[in-house]
């Protein structure tokens, strides 16, 4: 059985919900799945003043060396000015030793994200995550057009060929839609199936 890690950072819970959906999809693809989050690096006063969601059942990632235990790693983070937030970037900045050993070369990777608006930098944020995975030598699986839910304009929804996504609205009131969650499940399943072909 292949092992998949869903690694995320979530300020308000939108990415946490997407992470759960990605994990559901990966399990449907036959993988053993762990969900981990990266540490909060914002000062406590900022976390409280901004109303960040701090209650979660997902444990922290044990450290960068834990990445080598997985056949696939799917990374989720919201956008900050069109790129991944500092919390997720800080974690990847600790993976130099993993990179030196080539511990992730040939493994499967993917990304998912959330923005406040339809044009809030989803694709550039996904690329900022994917760039790290490519530098580690990983093979990237996005949200291919086999998932037809990302097509059409009759309703507001996320979804890009680079990865699953959702929109939170400026005040965070919009939760991931059924289409958004289905896209996350689809991508998780495709990544698990790809990892199984490579490592099963």
79 is in an annotated binding site: yes
128 is in an annotated binding site: no
125 is in an annotated binding site: no
80 is in an annotated binding site: yes
145 is in an annotated binding site: no
Token pair for residue 47? 């976390």
Beta strands at 139-140 and 32-37: parallel, antiparallel or unpaired: unpaired
110 is in an annotated binding site: no
10 is in an annotated binding site: yes
Angstrom distance (rounded) from CA 134 to CA 140 = 7
Token pair for residue 118? 């339809």
Dihedral of the CA atoms 122, 123, 125, 128 (nearest 10)? 170
13 is in an annotated binding site: yes
Report the DSSP beta bridge partners of residue 7: 36, 75
Residue numbers in the known binding site are 10-15, 79-81, 99, 135
Known binding-site positions for NAD(+) = 12
Q: Which residues are annotated as a binding site for substrate?
A: 99
- Going by the annotation, the residues of the binding site for FMN are 10-15, 79-81, 135
């Amino acid at each position: 059985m292949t092992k998949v890690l869903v690694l995320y950072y979530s300020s308000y819970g939108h990415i946490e919900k997407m992470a759960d959906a990605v994990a559901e999809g990966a399990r449907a693809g036959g993988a053993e799945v762990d969900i981990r989050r990266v540490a909060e690096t914002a000062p406590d006063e900022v976390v409280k003043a901004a109303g960040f969601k701090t209650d979660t059942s997902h444990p922290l990632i044990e450290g960068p060396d834990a990445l080598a235990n997985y056949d696939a790693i799917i990374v989720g983070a919201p956008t900050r000015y069109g790129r991944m937030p500092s919390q997720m970037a800080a974690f990847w900045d600790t993976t130099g030793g993993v990179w030196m050993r080539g511990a992730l070369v040939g493994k499967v990777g993917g990304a998912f994200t959330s923005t406040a608006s339809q044009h809030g930098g989803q694709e550039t944020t996904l690329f900022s995550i994917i760039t790290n995975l490519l530098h580690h030598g990983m093979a990237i699986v996005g949200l291919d057009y086999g998932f037809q839910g990302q097509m059409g304009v009759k309703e507001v929804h996320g979804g890009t060929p680079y990865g699953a996504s959702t929109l939170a609205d400026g005040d965070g009131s919009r939760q991931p839609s059924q289409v958004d969650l289905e896209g996350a499940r689809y991508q998780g399943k495709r990544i698990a199936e790809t990892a199984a072909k490579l490592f099963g």
